[in-house]
Each structure stands twice: as C-alpha cells, then as structure tokens.
Structure 1
Amino acid sequence: MKYPLLFISVLLIAFASCKKPNRDISDPLPEEEEFFVNEDPATFAEMGMIDVGGVGAAEISAYDSLTQRLLVVINDEENNVNKIEVIDMSKPAEMKVITSINVQPYGGMVNSVSVFDGKLAAAIESNDKQANGKVVVFKTTDYSEIKVIEVGALPDMVTWSPNGKYILTANEGEPNTDYTNDPKGTVSIISVDNNYAVNTIDFSAFAGQEAALKAKGFRVFGVGNDFLKDIEPEYVTISSDSKTAWVTLQENNAIAKIDIANKTLTDIFPLGFKNYNTDGNEIDPSDEDDAITARKVPVKGIFLPDAIAVLEDGGKPYLFTANEGDAREYDAFEEVKRVKNITLDPAAFSNWADLRKDENLGRLNITTTLGDTDGDGDFDELYSLGARSFSVWNGNTGEMVFDSKNELDKKTIAADLYDDGRSDDKSVEPEGLAIGKVGHKKVAFVGMERADAVAVYDVTNPTAPVFLQLLESGDAPEGVLIIPARQSPTKKTLLVVSSENDGVVKVYTPNTI
C-alpha cells in the first residue's frame, strides 16, 4: 500500500506547486490583463458632464468601484456648506447626485478624498485652520463612520497606499493672516491594520541642513524664517510596493522622500530654477502687450509643484510634477511685486528702463524673497512663480530628467485656450496630474487651471513624454482622476476632471482600436 500512498503524495505536492502564490492587493497585473482593452490614448472625448455647484464645488473627486459612485468635495464658504456629494456613475453619460455626506460635524472644509476597498478617507481641516485637522474614514456602502483620526494642521491631501495598509496626509500648516500662528508643516502616516494608529512627522531631521538645501533652491521665507514652520507639504504619491512616499513642498520648491514603514523622512530634494532666457523656455511675460508673444527674458522660474505622481519603469521611480507656482499673500507678509514696482540693479540690467515697460517685463509678477544677491536693496536677478510646465524627476536622486519647457503654452495657444490675462503671473498654471495605463500605453494627464484644459501625454518612456491631445474642461480644473478599465462601469478607461470655479465634473473616454 505504500506505493499508492507515495503516488498520491507526489500528486498533492505537484498540485500545490502549481498553485498561484497569494497576490498582494496592490499588484494590478492579473486584473489588468483580464480586463485589458486596446484603447487609443490620443482619442479621449467627453462622454458625460454634471454640474454640482459654483465656486468651491467639485475641487477633488474619488471613485468607488464597489458602488460605482463618484465622491466629490463641495466647499461653499459663503453658504457654510461642507460636504461630499455622492454621484451615481453606473452610467457616466447620465450621472446624477443621489446623496451627500455632511462633514461639518468634523470641522471645516474637506480638502481631499481617497477610496480603497469600500472605504472613503476624507481630509478635513479644523474650523481653526491652524489647529490639527482630521481624517475621517467612512464606509462607501452606507457612509457610516468607521474611524476619526487626528492629523496635522490643514490636511490638504489624503491618499491610500496601494496595498491599503496606510493612509497618508500632507498637512500644509499655513499661518493665519497676521502670521501670529504658523503651525509646523507635517505628514501623517496612519497604520490601518493597527486600529488606524497615526504618526505625524515633521521635518526637524533636516533642520541642520537648511543652508545646504537653500543653496540648491530650497526656500525658507516669510515672517520669522522658521525652518519647521515654513515647510508646507502639498501633495503625496506612493510607490507601488507601498514602501516609499514622495511629498511636494510647494512653497519651498522641493520634494520630500519618506520611508513609510519606518515613518521617517529620508531625503529632501530642492528643485532649483528654470531659465527663461534659453531656447525652448521662451515665455510671454506681459498681459498688456496686445499679442501673445513668447520670447527669451532674463527671468528664472521657481518650479513650486502642486500635484505629484510616480511612474515606475525598469525598477526606477520617476516623479511627475505639475509646476503650478504659489505665492504667500497674507496681511502680515506678501512676497509678490511687479517688475515695474521694484528697483533693478543697473549693472545686471543695463536696459532696465526698457524692461520696466508694461509690454516688456513691467507687468510680470516676481517674488521679492529672491534676487537681491548682494543685499543692497535692488534686484540683481528676477524670479517668477511656477515653471509653466510639468517635469519628471528621478525619485531616488531628485535629478530632473525631463521638463515640458513651454509646450503647454504652445498647445493651448494653438487651441485658442490660452488666457493672455495670466501671462504676467503663472500662465496656464499646471495643477492637477494623474498617470495611468490606457491600452498599451502609459499616459499622463495634466490639468491646467487657467487654460481650463487637460493635456494628454504618452509617458511610456518617462524620460521623453510625447504630447497626444488637449481636452477642454470646466473652469479651473483641480481634480484629475483616472478610472482604469478593470474598475470602470463601462469597462473602458475613464478620465474624470473636476473643476473648482464652476462645479463642473466631466468624464472622458478613448476609442478602442
């Protein structure tokens, strides 16, 4: 009898060896293959639209595939409305509001939402913006409360890790208007499996490197010039293995890198500056020159990125940033002035009288926190806010590997979508950004707040993105969300763009090949 038993044992071992190993929930490959649709990423077209309100509505959206519903942030300060609108997306061409989640009991405005496996995380600031905010987790089936977690001051963005084990928030920590209360900027790491225990980390580990960071383009400025209080985290992206996070420090012109499991800050990458006096970087610096005229100018741009997304290729993380730019404008401190209202160093700008004309650089807004290199009260260099582009950075070193230069300006001008009234400020203002798989291609979508448009790029080679098309959006697109075909109610990729100035949410989809 021992031979039959041996034979059965061999069969059992062979069967066991053929079983697929347990797959981490963050690994999308089998599902992507199962639901693969051969789509053309250059053919996105609008298929649905819904208007959920006016200014402050539809700032950020998240999608729950379990219920096929869209969760949209609604903040109407004038009418004291703070809620999350719930929209039926089972038929994207016929979207409708079915209910809402009132967030007023938890504090002030809800700034961001993110969904994972039937759970909605909402980042909600305190009624006192300088006090600690909250992340509230709801069930997406009945919107009942699961957990309330205290995080840092002004949580501006929230996201789940791909494996669902962590929730991270970028806590901006803005000062009050008279700068008497300026909380530290922080990042909160919430361990879901540990009963939502939270670790909120600041940037004290790098305080001793302030001088070295500033020499590379890191900005510490404002009332007090306090390193820890001055840092303002804006947006978070997380690696596919859920081990590493990168956070934009917008006002500081940098990206921070975080070890999630150890809850430690490991790097700060200052981003440096962009030279508008070189080929390909030409800009139109005036809103009163009677034309859209791109030209080389003796000005540098400060990247100051808002949204960030990671694309991993060949084992290397590539960080895509939307280089919006942002100014500090408070009662106690305002950094921006027009070139015509400052004094230029005649040795640095021999043609200063001509440059100060409105049709030249006179109308251009620049920061007064940089440029007086010798401290004599006049400006030896000019620095404007934002880079009018999106960029790609090496996530391990912070090195730039690509910048779109002035292509976003060119494409919106060609499409008659460019707002010349913003030429003196930050131009098209790239703000929202998302990366996903469309057919065989990896695709990036870049939302431009002032052009009311989204640029679509093939980023299959992340070091050489290729422009595909331009999509018109609502007024001031903020949220850019990709719904993969495997999760989509149509079983095709959907792009959802939510716009904060008119409350319009639009849905786009590509053609199949």
Structure 2
Amino acid sequence: MTFRLTFCSLIALAAASPALAEPVFNRIASFATLDNMAGDEDRTRATSAEIMTATPDGKRLIYSDSPLGAIGLIDIADPRAPKPLGNIAMDGEPTTTVVLGDTAFVGVNTSESYAKPSGVLRSVDLAGGQVVANCDLGGQPDSVALSPKGDMIAVAIENERDEEVNDGAIPQLPAGFVLRLPVKDGQVDCAGKQVIELTGLAGIAPDDPEPEYVDFNAQGDLVVTMQENNHIVVIGADGAVASHFSAGSVDLDGIDTDKDGKLDFTGSLKAVPREPDTVAWLDNDHFATANEGDWQGGSRGFTIWNRDGSVVHESGPAFEHALVRIGHYPEGRSGKKGAEPEAVKYAEFDGARLLFVGSERGSAIGVYDVADPSAPVLRQILPSGIGPEGLVAIPGRNLFASANETDLGEDGGARAHVMIYERAEGTPAYPTIASQDLLGWGALSGLTLDPADSSVLFAVSDSAYKNQPAIYRIQAGSPATITDKIVISKDGKPAETIDLEGIAADGKGGFWLASEGNPEKEIPHQILHVDGKGAVQQQVALPEDLTAGSTRFGLEGIAMAGDGMLWMAVQREWKDDPKGQTKLLSFDPATGEWSGVRYPLESGEGWVGLSELAIHDERLYLIERDNLIGPAAKLKQVTSVALQGLKPAPLGGALPLVEKRVERDLIPDLQQWNGYVQDKVEGMAIAPDGTVWTVTDNDGVDDASGETFLWSFTLGTQTAAK
C-alpha cells in the first residue's frame, strides 16, 4: 500500500491544476563546472562539483572541486542564467566550504599519505578571491559546519582509511576526532580550538572513529556520523559528548540483490548496517541520516532519529522503490548498496518543512514533507546530474541547488554539473514517465503505437538489461504510465543474445523486434516476431552476404508499412558502404526477400547515425543524431524519406541513394528540461493524426543521469530554441 500511495502522490501532484497545486520544484538551469576554467586552460581535464554552499545573500554558489584542487564560484543573481566566477586554488584537496559574511572557510586536505594525515582551514576573502588566513587542523578534514549563530565552526577530522590496506578493514590509525573552532569578529580563533575525542565509543573499531559528517542545530548541539563504525554521536553546545549510539541495521524486502543484467525486486537482505553518511538536524530534537554505506553496509534509504538514538522513521526500501518507478534504479549496484542515498538537506520553504534526499547512484533527489517527522510524505523526485553529492537550499529566494560530482568527459560522457531549481506554483516537469508497480525499467530504445489505441505506446529496452529483454506498455499522460512489462522469452526462458533497438506492432496483437548485433561478441543481427506475451515465434537473421561487412552498429528501429513490408534502419556505415552513407533495409515477411536503399548521413563531430525509424502518411521518418552530449551535441533531428516511388534494390548489388527531408531539430526539445542535452534520442512513434512521440535512452542509469524524457509534438511544428 505504501508503494502505491507513493506513486499515486507523484501522479496526483503532476496532474493537479496550477491554481490549486501547492508549489513545486522544477529545474530552471544547469552549470557545467568546466565553464569555470579560464579560456586558456585545458578543458578536457577532470573537474567536479562536490560539497556546495551559498553565500548569505543566496546569489553565489561555492563548490569544492577536488580534481582541480580548487573551489568554484557561480553567480546566480539570475538563477536562470548562472555565470562563471572562476576557481580559487586551495593548494590541496578542498572538502567542505562554509561562508560567513564575505569570507569562505574551506576545509583542505593536505595529507602526505593515509598514515600521515594533515589539513588546514583556509579563510578566503570572496571579494578579492584570495586565501587570507590558514588554521592548522592537525588531521584530514571531511565535513565542515557553521553554527546558526555564526559563532562556531565544527570540523570532522576523519583521517580516513586506505581501502587498499587489509581490504579496507578498520581500524587504521591515526584516529580521527572533531574540532570546534570559535569565530570572533568574523574570523576563526585557531588558538581557541577544542579537540573532541571520539575514541572508545563505537563497538566496531573504538580506536578508529573516522567521523564523517557534522551538523549544528539551533541551540549549538552537534550531531556526528561515524560511517564505517555505524555509529552516531551527539555533542552538546558545551563541547561534551551528550550521547552516542549504534546506527543499527535494517531488514530490506522487495529489493534487487544481484548484479545480473535484469531488474528483479523480489530479493531480501537481513540486518543490513545503516552506515550513515550525511546527517541534518530537522529541529533541536530530530535529525535525518542518509544511509549510503561504505564498508560493510548501506541500507539504501534514510532514517529520522530522536536525539536519544530512538528511530522516529525508517524509510527502508521505499525511497529506492520510488526511484525504481521513474527508471532511476542502478542495476549495476544491485550486488552492493543499490541507489546509495548519500546526501540529506533540511530546509523550510514558506512554512513547508522539507527534507531533500540525494541518491548518488540513482542520480535523483527526493523531496519529502517532514511536518510530521514520523511520517514523511514524498512530494517529488527531482532529476539531477550524475552523482549528486552536495545539496543547497536557499528558501529566501525559493531556490534549491545540487552539486553533481561525476565527470565522464574522458569517456565522452557528461561533465560534472550544478543544477538549479526554483519552487513556484505549477506542476512538476519531471518525471515524464513512471511505472505503476515495481516493474523495473530503463534504457528505452524503441517505440511503437498500439494500432487499436493511439494513446497506448509500447517500448523496448536494450542490452542494459541483457538477461531480461522486455516490452513495456505505456499509457500516454502527464506523466505517462508504464502499466505492464512483457519479458521476451524463448522456450519458456528469457531470450538471450539479443539487443532490442526497435519495435513495431504487427496489427495482430504481436510485435516485430529489431535486435542490434555485434560480431565482436557473436551477437547476431536479426529481427524477431513475438506474440502478445513476448514469446518468440520467429527469428530472422540478416543475410550472410549482408552481415559479412557488418560492425557493432546494427539495426536501430523497425516499422511496418501498409503493404506489410518491414523497414529497418542500420545505425552507421558498414564496411561495404560508401563513407557517410548507411542502409535502410526492407523485408517481406511473406516471401522472406530482403532489399534496401542507402541513406545519406550528415557529417559532424563524434559519429553520426540513425537511432529510430517510423512510418506515417507514406513517408519513412528517422531519428538522425550525433553521439555527443551536453554543449557538444549539435545534431539531433527527425528526417523523412518518401515511400512513394521508393524502389529498394536486392542486396548484394548497387543500392539507390534516397533523398531526405529534415523535419525537426530536436535539440530545442531536449533543452526544455533545463539540464544538459541528452545524447541518446532513440525512440519514436507517430500517431495517425501526426502526433510524434519521442523518448530518450537513459543507458540503464549506470554512468548516466538516469533521466528519461518522453514527449510529443506535431509534425510540421518546431520548438523555439533557447
């Protein structure tokens, strides 16, 4: 019942009329951290946005950038148009920054090694952009917190373990501790620092506490997580340990426990240590932890606690289940810590008491109403960049921001980003698609319409779930709803060695499917005919004289013409194709005959190829795109080729070259969610009235933001560019 209510609450909020709906968060801008580099710097270098804060006026964001050894600054005076303010070198690894007035206090790790940890608190004059003072911390800092009154800074000196030593087991000395540093006249009083020892408290490794995160409440109390020790400590305003307790464990049911190429939420784990990472006070008596896990645990959710250690609320798998429903579950982490909630942030917006929970691996942020801490209510899930690490609330400006640390530039993927959201009346723009139940979905790579009901679509997922190829039934709406999942089977078992990239309804209750082959992995190029239950009725391999020159860039899309002919797009040139040309193949199911034409591809950076094919009003419609992401993406478009008069030639000889017509630039469409432009627009279906449905492939979440965008437009229209 809880899971159904969670899904229904998201649907109801999205569907509520703007006049009646309570305010919601929507993303209004994104900022790539590489844009803080100077023009003559090497922008291919790795960069990151980790822990982040805002200046007191809420008009600047400051994030730590460990790869660059700097803090980055962003001007958000106009939050819809963030501007770079550059980086300030820290001569070490910055961890956390807090701001008082126009001074930023930055914890910086200067350790020579794990065995010889060291660190400083650097005072940075934000007006001049220079370090003006340093305070030796006597160890490696992690979290830094500023008291609400501005009179005290606390630092968690973690002295973290070396995960390459003894399989990362603790203890590994020297021991960490917590520091309290008085602030006088806006400056840190280093001479007045107080060392609070935490040894002897935890039951796991009492000699090696490794404090992870600290947070102040309004009366000056500190709460400290000791993640590897699965322990929590409350320190009073006098600097003495007031209480401490084990973070305990959680029994988890309805979860995916195996990294096996399929989504199966029927597993269970017992007595999983919470191992909390981030902690945030809700008031003077309650705090919340994100139970990411590190060494031996990670319970995939969050917990709300009384300060005496009693549990007020345990989310269990509910947060992860909410991510499953919107396609943000990272199957590649099933054997470990699942969605890994790493960050929590509490704030009050116009009296609404909200807890934000960031999933590092699911790359999304849950927004919970915690007016009653014992019964949090999920209000929204926000799309984020990859790996949200730092969360910032700016209630005075109705703004929220996330720092997303993962930089995949070396692999041609998305760069690290900061995302900015605004709270206002309206409806959530995200998710665009969600499932009713724990069906498990993602990596949508092909679309078709139900011939009997143009409000129903069917999609397929690609090899991200290689051991569970599936068809998904989708009811159009806002958001669209996945109502069924049909696993493709052969001889009663999930079909193997297929990579579904296209789907076409056969008009008789079944489907034709296009499977992209890969000669390097001995996966055949083929099409399959399945019945309405997903059972394979026929497998048709592409002719050998055609596949002799094939590559791993195979079939991407399949459609059935009115005469019963099947048309398929080959993504890129094969070895027998002229440069810049690929093939459109036709197959007659009645005779088994193959034929084809050549299609001229645009030139561009990266590579350019076809991702989908659909048929409408005697024309073949195709998605043609580059493989680039973010600002590098230049080509995402819909084109068409006239079927009338098209005469495909038998394979093996010369194939005629078709003329194409560009129908729509999809980049403005992809910009409407105010994140970075996604690279994989891979599904398209066209209704009889000319409505075009388009969907992106979220790559199964691993090494991707997990965002899936499903939207529609009408042929002959064009979204205005931003």
TM-score, scaled to structure 2: 0.50
Give 2:322's aligned residue. Answer: 411
Give 1:497's aligned residue. Answer: 402
> Is 1:183 equivalent to 2:174 in the alignment?
yes
> Is 1:325 equivalent to 2:293 in the alignment?
yes
Return the offset for 1:320: 0.3
Secondary structure at the counterpart of residue 426 of structure 1: coil
Task: Give runs of aligned pairs for residues 195-344 of structure 1, distance below 5 A.
Answer: 195-196=189-190, 197-204=192-199, 207=200, 214=203, 219-220=204-205, 227-228=206-207, 230-242=208-220, 244-260=221-237, 262-276=238-252, 281-288=253-260, 290-297=262-269, 299-312=270-283, 317-327=285-295
CA distance in 2, matches of 1:387, 1:168: 27
Give 1:453's aligned residue. Answer: 364
CA pair 47-67 structure 1, distance change in 2 beyond 3 A = closer
CA distance in 2, matches of 1:319, 1:40: 28
Secondary structure at the counterpart of residue 137 of structure 2: strand
Deviations 1:168-197 (A, max 9, x none): 111111234547972111101001127342
CA distance in 2, matches of 1:182, 1:400: 31
Structure 1, unmatched stretches of 5+, are 1-37, 221-226, 328-366, 368-384
CA pair 232-116 structure 1, distance change in 2 beyond 3 A = same
The structure with higher relative contact order (CA 8 Å, sep 6+) is 1
CA distance in 2, matches of 1:132, 1:424: 35
Structure 2, unmatched stretches of 5+, are 1-18, 35-44, 408-415, 427-722
Contact kept, 8 Å, 1:42 with 1:468, in 2: the verdict is no
- Coordinate RMSD, CA, aligned: 2.2
Return the offset for 1:146: 4.2
Secondary structure at the counterpart of residue 335 of structure 2: coil
Task: Give runs of aligned pairs for residues 139-158 of structure 1, distance below 5 A.
Answer: 139-158=125-144
Secondary structure at the counterpart of residue 361 of structure 2: coil
Return the offset for 1:40: 6.7
CA distance in 1, matches of 2:343, 2:194: 27
Give 1:348's aligned residue. Answer: none
Give 1:110's aligned residue. Answer: 94
CA distance in 1, matches of 2:146, 2:21: 29
Deviations 1:92-148 (A, max 9, x none): 1111212221101xxx21011111222211000114143221111223222343431
Return the offset for 1:254: 1.1
CA distance in 2, matches of 1:253, 1:181: 16
- What one-letter code is carried by the residue in structure 1 that aligns with 2:174? P
Contact kept, 8 Å, 1:431 with 1:478, in 2: the verdict is yes
- What one-letter code is carried by the residue in structure 1 that aligns with 2:243? D
> Is 1:83 equivalent to 2:85 in the alignment?
no
CA distance in 2, matches of 1:69, 1:439: 21
Contact kept, 8 Å, 1:114 with 1:121, in 2: the verdict is yes
Task: Give runs of aligned pairs for residues 362-377 of structure 1, distance below 5 A.
Answer: 367=296
Return the offset for 1:241: 2.0
CA pair 152-270 structure 1, distance change in 2 beyond 3 A = farther
CA pair 150-456 structure 1, distance change in 2 beyond 3 A = same
CA distance in 1, matches of 2:126, 2:241: 32
CA distance in 1, matches of 2:124, 2:58: 13
Secondary structure at the counterpart of residue 92 of structure 1: coil
Contact kept, 8 Å, 1:49 with 1:507, in 2: the verdict is yes
CA distance in 1, matches of 2:281, 2:56: 22
Return the offset for 1:237: 1.0
CA distance in 1, matches of 2:142, 2:22: 30
Return the offset for 1:285: 0.7
Give 2:604's aligned residue. Answer: none
CA distance in 1, matches of 2:355, 2:132: 33
Return the offset for 1:284: 1.4
- Among 48, 51, 54, the alignment partner of 1:63 is 54
- Among 24, 28, 47, the alignment partner of 1:43 is 24
Contact kept, 8 Å, 1:121 with 1:136, in 2: the verdict is yes
CA distance in 2, matches of 1:308, 1:62: 15
Higher fraction of helix: 1
CA pair 178-390 structure 1, distance change in 2 beyond 3 A = closer
Bigger Rg, structure 1 or 2 = 2
CA pair 428-236 structure 1, distance change in 2 beyond 3 A = same
CA pair 41-202 structure 1, distance change in 2 beyond 3 A = farther
> Is 1:507 equivalent to 2:485 in the alignment?
no
Give 2:301's aligned residue. Answer: 389
Secondary structure at the counterpart of residue 90 of structure 1: coil
Contact kept, 8 Å, 1:40 with 1:438, in 2: the verdict is no
Return the offset for 1:265: 2.1
Secondary structure at the counterpart of residue 69 of structure 2: strand
Contact kept, 8 Å, 1:41 with 1:443, in 2: the verdict is no
Return the offset for 1:66: 4.1
Deviations 1:397-447 (A, max 9, x none): 111110111111211111011111111110000001101112231001100
CA distance in 1, matches of 2:359, 2:22: 19
Q: How many residues align?
A: 379
Contact kept, 8 Å, 1:237 with 1:308, in 2: the verdict is yes
CA distance in 2, matches of 1:475, 1:450: 8
